[in-house]
A and B are shown apart, each in its own frame.
Chain A
Amino acid sequence: MIGIRNIGVHIPETRVPNISKQFNEPLAMNFLKEKLGVLAVARKNDTDKASDLCVLAMQDLLTREVGFDVTAVDCLIVCTQNGDFHLPQTASVLHYKLGVPVTCASFDLALGCSGYVYSLQVAKSFMETNGLQYGLVFTCDPYSEIIDPKDKDTDLVFGDGATVSLLTADAVYNIEKGAYLTDGTNYDYLIKRPGQTVFMNGRGIFNFVMRQVPPTINRCMVANDMKMSDIDLFLLHQGSKYIVDNLVSRMKLDAGKVPYAILGYGNTVSSSIPIMLQDYLKTDTLKTILVCGFGVGLSAAAAILRRVK
């Protein structure tokens, strides 16, 4: 069975403090820290593209998997909606930059905040069906390229980052069944139209998350024949502190099992879950983790990770 063996992370060093930003209404530190939960957002260099951030995440992975042979990679997936170009796929650009073999299957997966969960499921299925050995699942969605710095709703929230998950049979966490939800009727709640910057209907997204994420998580539990009390850790997409706190409250989760991590760098879209997951890979008391991403689409996906090592 294919599972997650290790994770590399890159969060750009540049952090822009939110309190320094000027909008029509003044910003309160208490609001930024306790409600929004983002004090600073990470920003990549202007000249870096998604593939460059992915290369840096790969460099981090290689410090954790010393001696890993990149020429053994036979599956490369990039989860992004802000790739290097409209075409070709960013996976091909990254394929070139990493020097992986021509026989490596490489493709993009165009999803946002639900993307990591989907990507794990797709990669696992693709690799197991085709007998592949070593897969790299990258996440990188640099929203700094597409948001308006004068738009408080987005500029205070989104940060840049990239991750890579090494998938192989010699895994730490197996990837179990998932549950999925799509609400296409509200596809325009988070949208970037040609020639424009991102528009986000924050209230609409809040409503979607509160209404649809709890039942999606419940369906994931049923699919895996599990109870909520079986879960050691809930890695929920880090949309904002307000979203995570409200999910904890409404689902009556143990807040101690639901980390909040993005105060210093912001919502990194599909990277938010693997950034947190990297921190917990070595904690062998965490046997069962629920991962749940939700957002643009509108889309939600939840899955179970079960520790095998």
Chain B
Amino acid sequence: MKEITKEDLFKVIQESNLNFDVNISVLDPDELLTTQGLDSLDMASLLFELESAYNVTVSDESIAEGAWKTINKIVATLNKLMANQDSSND
């Protein structure tokens, strides 16, 4: 399965119903999204959109562990979840 990139993520966001006050594609990929203009409600709808786009489940535990806090962490977490899906389908 092809790895998801930051650009893939930005494309999903652009094509979705999401309407943030900031342009996520220009944010620092290693800084917390919540310190760069996204609030808790934005994060909830971002995660919902990613669940729908990639058919994954975002667990409360993974949120607590910080797996979705930055752009790079989101990409890494999505790739991990997708890889787990692929191996369970084999």
Contact = CB atoms under 8 A, between A and B. Distances in A.
Contacts of A204: 60
A210 interface: yes
Given A201-B60, A250-B17, A35 B39 contact: yes
Query: Is chain A's binding surface mostly helix, strand, loop or mixed?
Result: helix
B48 interface: yes
A125 interface: no
Contacts of B17: 246, 249-250
Nearest to B63: A203
Contacts of B45: 206, 242, 246
Contacts of A249: 17, 19
Query: Is chain B's binding surface mostly helix, strand, loop or mixed?
Result: helix
A166 B17 CA distance: 40
B interface bracket (residues with beta carbon within 8 Å of A): 10 to 19
Contact of A242 (B41, B47, B60): B41
B44 A202 contact: yes
Nearest to B51: A207
A206 B17 CA distance: 14
| From B17, B40, B41, B43, residue with most partner A Cβ within 10 Å | B41
Interface in B16-39: 17, 19, 39
A242 B40 CA distance: 11
Contacts of A31: 39
Nearest to B34: A25
A202 B48 contact: no
Interface string B61-90: 001000000000000000000000000000
A36 interface: yes
Contacts of B41: 35-36, 206, 240, 242
Contacts of B51: 207
A94 to B, nearest CB: 37
Contact of A207 (B39, B40, B43, B48): B48
Interface in A185-213: 201-204, 206-207, 210
Interface of A: 31, 35-36, 201-204, 206-207, 210, 240, 242, 246, 249-250
Interface of B: 17, 19, 39-41, 43-45, 47-48, 51, 60, 63
14 contacts: A35-B39, A36-B41, A201-B60, A202-B44, A203-B44, A203-B60, A204-B60, A206-B41, A207-B44, A207-B48, A207-B51, A240-B41, A242-B41, A250-B17
